[in-house]
Amino acid sequence: MADIKSSTILAIESSCDDTSAAVIRDGMILSNVTAHQDVHMQYGGVIPELASRQHDQHIIPVVDAALRQSGVSREELNAIAFTQGPGLMGSLLIGCSTAKAMAMALDIPLIGVNHMEAHILAHFIDEPRPELPFLCLTVSGGHTQIVHVRSARDMEVLGTTRDDAAGEAFDKIGKYLGLPYPAGPEIDKLAKLGEPKYPFGKSKLKGIEFSFSGLKTAVLYFLKKEMKQDDKFIKREMNNICASVQKTIIDILIEKLILASKETDITQIGIGGGVSANAGLRSRLEAVGQERGWSTYIPRLEYCTDNAAMIAITAHYMYQAGEFVDLSAKPDPRMKI
Ligand code: KG4
Ligand code: ZN
């Protein structure tokens, strides 16, 4: 086995609407500080320009707090890592420029991390860790992917979504229901109080491929029709509608996960990304896993939604592999695994 190099790394995440910084030493997270942005709530979605401005305000205090909480001084750092993509250009730029400035001032290397790889490697922050190879369903506001993970630095996307991401489906349908952004956590909460009594159809895509835009349209037409007859329908049936929407999304995700497991013969199965915070998805994964003899893994809640600890653990592996970028590195809003 190759020698493990000792390393202390500061990692910055700023891909969307959360500003986060973390410090990791030899693969152990020492701090993980996140500033959330509430400004987008009133608009029903993230407004990129407002997100960049908020990152600009939050980044220095967040980095400062992460260093302070870790007890590590700047001089002890061996590298600075940042989220290079995918994400919003303006948001990524703030993290990228801050990381570059620090790397230049401290004369240490820079690591450009892929946010989607990081959601997957969040599984390697705590024990128990999946055995390799494992399959990871990454479900966030912008992505829905099933990834075959051979090692921390060798991954292959087996399938992705044709249109909306799972989180986007939660958020857009929530908007029709008059719920605040992000609607995923809200739908999750209300679904617990209802019954999935409305059967929304699933797309009939073959293979490991997802589609959620059909569901979004089906729910929109259903609501329009019902509201014409009874303008209190949404209010009265909110919990049941949420339970039905959530069940349909979970059915789609689990069906494709079963298919991927069959096709690859892999039974080490993890989920990651913001939507993996969903209570319904978590309990269904456990139940299906028991039925099928899978070993299932879900990161701690704070490592499911956007956070810098996952950027830090990815940077840890990249440091070991000698994967650095230079000061000319640019954010890549469409960065691929
Ligand atoms: O990974 P993430 O924090 O940010 C992105 O990289 O996009 O994911 C955010 C997404 C949002 O769409 C949000 O509605 C969804 O995750 N989400 C949830 C839950 N918590 C967050 N969706 C369903 N149930 C939840 N409990
Ligand atoms: Zn994310």
pLDDT at 2: 57
Alpha carbons 290 and 288: distance in angstroms, whole number = 5
Mutational pocket test of ligand 1: of 120, 140, 164, 310, the residue with most ligand atoms within 8 Å of the beta carbon: 140
Q: Would you state the pLDDT for residue 211?
A: 95
What is the distance in A from the centroid of ligand 1 to the CA of 6?
A: 34
pLDDT in tens, the chain (337 residues): 456 789 999 999 999 889 999 999 999 999 999 988 887 777 777 888 888 998 899 999 999 999 999 999 999 999 999 999 999 999 999 999 999 999 999 999 999 999 999 999 999 999 999 999 999 999 999 899 999 999 999 999 999 999 999 999 999 999 999 999 899 999 999 999 999 999 998 778 899 999 999 999 999 999 999 999 999 999 999 999 999 999 999 999 999 999 999 999 999 999 999 999 999 999 999 999 999 999 999 999 999 999 999 999 999 999 999 999 999 999 999 999 9
pLDDT value of position 44: 74
Q: Among 18, 170, 216, 282, which is best to mutate for testing ligand 1, by the most ligand atoms less than 8 A from CB?
A: 170
Ligand 1 atom at minimal distance to the Cα of residue 183? 14
> Using CA atoms, how far apart are residues 141 and 165, in angstroms rounded to an integer?
6
Q: Which ligand is nearest to the CA of 189?
A: 1
Distance from the CA of 260 to the center of ligand 2, in angstroms?
A: 22
Please report the pLDDT score of residue 203 as a whole number.
78
Residue 184 Cβ inside 6 Å of ligand 1? The answer reads yes
For residue 319, give the nearest of 42, 80, 58, 139 by alpha carbon. Answer: 80
Of ligand 1's listed atoms, the one at least distance from the Cα of 142 is: 7
The residues, any chain, with a CB within 8 Å of residue 300's CB and separated by 6 or more, are: 125, 126
Q: Give Cβ neighbours of residue 240 (< 8 Å, ≥ 6 apart).
A: 194, 195, 196, 197, 198
The torsion angles phi and psi of 316, rounded to 5 degrees, stand at: -60, -50
What atom in ligand 1 is closest to the CA of residue 167?
12
